[in-house]
Chains A and B, each alone.
Chain A
Amino acid sequence: MQSSRPGPVLLIIATAVALFLLMPLLAVVPVSFTPQRFLSMPNGVLSLRHYQALIDNPAWGQSVLLSLRIGILSSAIATVLATMFGLGIWMFQPRFSALLIGFVLLPLIVPPVVSAMTLYFLMTTLSAFNSFIGYDTWIGVALAHAVMITPFAVVLILVALFQVDRRIDLAARGLGANLTTRAFRIIIPNIKFGIATAALLSFVLSWEEIGVTLFITSVNAITLPRLMWMGLRDNIDPAIAAISVLLIIVTAVILALRIFIERRGASETK
């Protein structure tokens, strides 16, 4: 390995890249403490007024609750569908596995704006049938998010499944276990950490989703990213900086949780 350790030139470039990657995250911190009404650097005086604004304006709290609700429903749909699909692929190895997986990954690969247009069509069509599930409803947003995050859950669950030793399942089958027993008592317990990670990370993706959400909501279903978007487009509201700082903290906690889940998963399979 010694021969291929990064040399000084590469290390300098990589450090610059690392700074570039972290800079925008660090920059929001000072802005969030500005005493001014507009986007600016605090000039010696720090203020918590923009954090206070998050509490005072009920719109923020409402959008957080709505995003939570949407995230939980959509990641539940995605996790269940992806787990079933993964089990089907892993247990039966159908002849066109690659093709089926490719099909399921479409929303991950198709440009977000095309997915947004497609889901806009779906939602406006659904609205014509039922006013609770179509355009600008929370269930509609959850369905659309489920479409967008399921491919991602499929990838994570397939990765977990392909680390399972097939012989365990063969042994269970040899001992006469039926399909349900094999699925619920053998395979799922073996990938439970993979499933937990998939659920957690698909929740994060729904929680942050904005591209599609912009196309399928207008005034009723204002998710947190949608509210941030509204504060970013024209006059930049420094409350966005305060909420960004909080979001960075929450994301860091969730990532730490993911590492914790993976560690436990790793130590248990040893």
Chain B
Amino acid sequence: MTGKSVLPRTILLLAPLLLFLGLAYVVPFLGVIRWSVTLPEPGLGQYHAVLTDPLVQSVFIRTLRICLFVTVAALVMAYAIAYVWVRGTPAQRMLAEFCILVPFWISVLTRAFGWLALLSNRGLINTWLQAAGVISEPLALARNEFGVIIGMTHFLIPFAVFPIASAMRSIDERVLLAARGMGASRSRIFWSVFVPLTYGGLIGAALIVFVFALGFFVTPAILGGGRSVMVAELVYLRIFQSPDWGLGAAISVVLVVFIGVLLALMRRFIKPAHLVG
């Protein structure tokens, strides 16, 4: 290009954001790392606690279990609606897009509240089932792990739809026509040709959903009702209820390292533009 004279002007445009995020995000994160090895006393005690404390362990195991459930459920549901969004008739596509994007843009609190309105003891589902005489006592659908899984799956479906849909869009129609020309049945084309061609999108979607689910805070806290605490809520509780900033900080650092490893794996499959609608 024009050589050296361009460099300072490049910096002038790029620097403000880089500085802003450097000072407001990266430096404070270093501070969190410092907390994790200095509070309440210097040393690696907090990391030792993360690895050995039975309470922390059980929260980690519960978190992983919930995240796996949520990932599988969100992928299956996202795949079905993404298919209609990409390959349906124009009317079907519009409806699918509406159903994907509207919840995506509604506040996470509104969505969590909506699930409470459906699942809680005096919610729609229990009211209907009792009125119909199917059950006599309300079912425990919210304020437990079941509620958390439902609410999180609902939140994360759109994030799974975007990479899957983009993989579906990039399939060459001629490959499917060729399969048909060779006499393959509809279901054979779907399972042996179409689905394998979307593996990239599926893996990307799985990693996005899993990573988002791991650090997710609001939905589990509301729909879990404090009974099935996940990692993120544990961090919150450690800071605001039992002032134990060191453990909260150490859990944060462990989460970042864990997710860094996952991201290194997912780099091949994800483009940033897929993360937003």
CB atoms of A248 and B106 under 8 A apart:
yes
**How many residues on the B side are at the interface (Cβ–Cβ under 8 A)?**
91
Asked if residues A27 and B96 are in contact (CB atoms below 8 Å), the reply is: no
Smallest CB gap from B22: residue in A = A103
Q: Are B114 and A244 in contact (CB under 8 A)?
A: yes
Is the CB–CB distance between B127 and A155 below 8 Å? no
Chain B residues with CB below 8 A from A22, complex form: 99, 102-103
- Chain B residues with CB below 8 A from A102, complex form: 272
Let me know if A112 is at the binding interface, CB within 8 A. Answer: yes
B110: Cβ under 8 A from any A Cβ: yes
B32 touches A39 (CB 8 A): no
Residues of B within 8 A of A147 (CB): 20-21, 24-25
Q: Nearest CB to that of A4 among chain B residues?
A: B87
Instruction: Kindly list chain B residues whose C-beta atoms are within 8 Å of the C-beta of A125.
Output: 28, 31
CB pair A21–B25 under 8 Å, yes or no, is: no
Query: Which label, helix, strand, loop or mixed, suits the secondary structure of the B interface?
Result: helix
Chain A residues within 8 Å of B157, by CB: 17, 21
Q: Are B114 and A24 in contact (CB under 8 A)?
A: yes
Q: Are A3 and B235 in contact (CB under 8 A)?
A: no
A24 touches B77 (CB 8 A): no
Question: Does chain A have a CB within 8 A of B1?
Answer: yes
Residue contact A23 to B222, C-beta cutoff 8 Å = no
Flag whether A143 is at the interface (Cβ < 8 A). Answer: yes
B109 touches A229 (CB 8 A): yes
A77 to B221, CA, bound (A): 30
Query: B102, A252: Cβ atoms under 8 Å?
Result: yes
Q: Which of B72-108 contact A (CB under 8 A)?
A: 77-78, 80-81, 83-84, 87-89, 92, 95-96, 99-103, 105-108
A154 neighbours in B (Cβ, 8 Å): 17
Task: Decide if B13 touches A81 in the complex (CB within 8 Å).
Answer: no
Q: Is B229 an interface residue (CB 8 A)?
A: no
Give the distance to chain B from A225, nearest Cβ to Cβ, in Å: 5
A155: chain B residues within 8 A (beta carbon) = 272-273, 275-276
Check B275 against A108 for contact (C-beta < 8 Å).
Answer: yes
Bound CA span A21–B115, Å: 11
Q: Which chain A residues border B77 with CB–CB below 8 Å?
A: 17, 20
- Neighbouring A residues of B21 by C-beta, 8 Å: 103-104, 106-107, 147, 150
Q: Does B117 contact A (CB under 8 A)?
A: yes
Evaluate contact between B218 and A5: CB separation under 8 angstroms: no
Min distance, Cβ A97 to any Cβ of chain B, angstroms: 10
Could you tell me the distance between the alpha carbons of A108 and B275 in the complex, rounded to whole angstroms? 9
A41: CB under 8 A from chain B? Answer: yes
Compute how far the CA of A42 lies from the CA of B222 in the bound complex, rounded to whole angstroms. 23
Query: Do B259 and A208 touch (CB < 8 A)?
Result: no
* Bound Cα distance from A233 to B276, whole angstroms: 29
> How far is it, in angstroms, between the C-alpha of A47 and the C-alpha of B235 when the chains are bound?
40
With known contacts A5-B88, A38-B122, A255–B105 Cβ distance under 8 A: yes
Partner of A215, one of B12, B92, B239: B239
Q: Which residue of A lies closest to B179 (CB)?
A: A3
In the complex, A95 Cα to B123 Cα: how many Å? 56
Residue B124 is within 8 A (CB to CB) of chain A in the complex: yes
Does A110 lie at the interface of the complex (its beta carbon under 8 Å from any beta carbon of B)? yes
Asked if A10 meets B248 with Cβ closer than 8 Å, knowing A85-B13, A109-B263, the reply is no
Contact: B124 with A30, CB < 8 Å?
yes
Most central of A105, A113, A254 by chain B CB within 10 Å: A113
Q: Which residues of B contact A20 (CB under 8 A)?
A: 77, 154
Query: Are the C-beta atoms of B216 and A41 separated by less than 8 Å?
Result: no
Separation of A112 and B14 alpha carbons in the complex (Å):
25
| Cross-chain contact A88 with B103 (CB below 8 angstroms) | no
The answer to whether B117 and A111 touch across the interface, beta carbons within 8 angstroms, is no
Per a CB cutoff under 8 Å, which of B110, B154, B215 touches A247?
B110
A residues less than 8 Å from B194 (CB atoms): 4
Query: Are B14 and A113 in contact, CB atoms less than 8 angstroms apart?
Result: no
Q: How far does the Cβ of B264 sit from chain A's closest Cβ, in whole Å?
A: 12
A3 touches B218 (CB 8 A): no
User: Which 3 interchain pairs have the tightest Cβ spacing?
Assistant: A111-B215, A24-B114, A88-B13
User: Could you list some 28 contacts between A and B, CB below 8 A?
Assistant: A4-B173, A6-B88, A17-B77, A21-B102, A25-B114, A27-B124, A39-B123, A41-B124, A41-B127, A84-B14, A91-B13, A100-B14, A103-B18, A109-B259, A111-B211, A111-B212, A111-B214, A111-B232, A113-B231, A114-B255, A122-B24, A122-B25, A144-B24, A155-B272, A155-B273, A211-B218, A247-B106, A248-B106
Additional pairs, 11, CB under 8 Å, beyond known A156-B276, A255-B101 = A14-B81, A17-B157, A41-B123, A85-B18, A88-B10, A109-B211, A125-B31, A150-B17, A214-B217, A232-B112, A241-B113
